[in-house]
Structure 1
Amino acid sequence: MALSDDIRLLSAVPLFQGLDDDQLRLVAFGAERRNVGKGQALFREHSPAECAFVVARGRFDLYTEGRDGIAELERSVGPGTLLSELALVTMVERKFTAVAADDGEVLRIPRTLFHRLLEEYPAVARLLEARIKENLVNLAKAAAAMQGRFA
């Protein structure tokens, strides 16, 4: 795909919405495209996350290990989905296993590239910090709402 296609894809990702073409171009140029065959794992739960992925084509099933050790399908995601967002900011472990439901393609965004974006565009850093905080608050609210299921 062309650089312009990657810029268009990134502009649709909620975390990157509002960034200008130069900022998106920096990310698109530094990102790596990867093909993922049907049934292939993109990454595994509990593995270290040094990058995030944007789904460019195809669908990915997200699994977590159930109480009995059997993988449970949590949800399926498609183009424009950002996987492992927090890995862009800090070292974390993967919270699920992502498996290609059909042949797919992703953009791999390394943490070092994301940090370069933040260093070169401090206003973007403030914008993205606010978005990540909002996402964490929403995640905490969702977890609190499910608390009764685990009591």
Structure 2
Amino acid sequence: MALNDDIQLLSQVPLFRQLDGDQLRLIAFGAERRSLAEGQELFREGSPAEAAYIVVRGRIGLYAMDRMGDIRHQKDVGAATLLSELALVTMVERKFTAVAASDCEVLKVNRQLFQRLLEEYPQVGRLIEARIRENIAGLAKAAAAMEHRFR
């Protein structure tokens, strides 16, 4: 896939949607492409998250452990989905296991590449801050909606 195709894909990812061409080019050029065969694990729940992944083509199945210790299928995701977004800014554990539901390709964006983006384009930090605020507001809204379950 050409660099321009990767830039186009990145522009569809919500976190990167407001970035300009040079900023997207930096990410696309530094990202690592990886192919997965159907059934191949991308990462496992509980492992350290040193990078985020963007689905280029195909589908990835997301699985998580329930309270009984059984693995449950959560959902499948496709192209332009960003997995483990928080790994771009801090060391976290994976919250789910990701397995190729079909033959697929992903772009790996490591934290160092993302830090370079922030260093070269400080204004991107404000976009990320806004995104984090939106996520926190969404979590608060979801928690408020579930409040009745905890009484």
Normalised by the length of structure 1, the TM-score is 0.94
Match of 1:85 in 2: 85
- How much is the aligned-residue C-alpha RMSD, in angstroms? 1.5
Per the alignment, in what secondary structure is the counterpart of residue 95 of structure 1?
coil
Match of 1:71 in 2: 71
Match of 1:113 in 2: 113
Per the alignment, in what secondary structure is the counterpart of residue 68 of structure 2?
coil
CA-to-aligned-CA distance 1:41-92 (integer Å, 9 cap, x gap): 1101010001000000111111100122111111110000000000000000
Cα distance in structure 1, aligned partners of 2:78 and 2:53 = 12
Cα distance in structure 2, aligned partners of 1:15 and 1:136 = 15
Per the alignment, in what secondary structure is the counterpart of residue 34 of structure 1?
strand
| Count of aligned positions | 151
Match of 1:136 in 2: 136
Q: 1:149 Cα deviation (Å)?
A: 5.2
Q: 1:99 Cα deviation (Å)?
A: 0.7
Match of 2:123 in 1: 123
Q: 4+ residue stretches of structure 1 with deviation over 6 A?
A: none
Shift in alpha-carbon separation, 1:144–1:92, aligned structure 2, 3 A:
farther
Normalised by the length of structure 2, the TM-score is 0.94
Cα distance in structure 2, aligned partners of 1:149 and 1:36 = 40
Structure 2 letter corresponding to 1:21 = G
Per the alignment, in what secondary structure is the counterpart of residue 136 of structure 1?
helix
Per the alignment, in what secondary structure is the counterpart of residue 54 of structure 2?
strand
What does 1:3-82 correspond to in 2, within 5 Å?
3-82=3-82
Where structure 2 has 5 or more consecutive residues not aligned to the other structure, the ranges are none
Structure 2 letter corresponding to 1:90 = T
Per the alignment, in what secondary structure is the counterpart of residue 68 of structure 1?
coil
Structure 1 letter corresponding to 2:118 = L
Shift in alpha-carbon separation, 1:150–1:82, aligned structure 2, 3 A:
farther
Where structure 1 has 5 or more consecutive residues not aligned to the other structure, the ranges are none
Structure 2 letter corresponding to 1:131 = R
Q: 1:144 Cα deviation (Å)?
A: 4.3
